[in-house]
């Protein structure tokens, strides 16, 4: 077991690792910590990189993934490839605009 896995098992940290798919948000929230807004320079976490990082996270002991950031399903690369993360044997949650949970998928 890794130190991270031990901390998750002990409840010292949560088991879900969140990914920001992109920063293309359509809102201008004053409390935003990621500096996402309509006029912000476009930044994207490539789906392939997300899967690679998710595999590393699973090896470290994370038990779930979260994907959020700027309405990820408005981008073709995420709306077509959403099943990739669910094949990692981890619970996958997806969020969009603040506080809205779109889905949670149990592992295959």
The confidence score (pLDDT) of residue 87 equals 53
The confidence score (pLDDT) of residue 103 equals 47
Flag whether pLDDT at 9 surpasses 90: yes
For 59, residues 6+ apart whose C-beta sits below 8 A from its C-beta are 2
pTM, rounded to two decimals = 0.68
The confidence score (pLDDT) of residue 14 equals 92
Average pLDDT over residues 79-94: 55
Summarised one tens digit per residue, pLDDT across range 28-72 is: 888 877 777 788 888 888 888 888 898 899 899 998 888 877 666
Give the Cα separation of 56 and 17 in Å (integer): 11
Cβ atoms 4, 61 nearer than 8 A: yes
Give CA separation, 32 vs 28, 61, 88, 97, 98, in Å.
8, 29, 30, 11, 9
The confidence score (pLDDT) of residue 49 equals 87
Q: How far does Cα 64 stand from its chain's mean position?
A: 9
Give the Cα separation of 42 and 44 in Å (integer): 7
């Amino acid at each position: 077991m890794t130190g991270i896995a031990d901390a998750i098992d002990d409840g010292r940290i949560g088991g879900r690792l969140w990914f920001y798919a992109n920063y293309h948000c359509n809102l201008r929230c004053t409390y935003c910590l990621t500096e996402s807004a309509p006029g912000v320079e476009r930044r994207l976490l490539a789906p392939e990189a997300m899967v690679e990082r998710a595999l590393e996270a699973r090896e470290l002991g994370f038990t779930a993934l979260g994907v959020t950031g700027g309405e990820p399903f408005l981008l073709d690369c995420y709306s077509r490839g959403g099943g990739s993360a669910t094949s990692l044997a981890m619970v996958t949650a997806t969020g969009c605009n603040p506080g809205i949970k779109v889905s949670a998928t149990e592992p295959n």
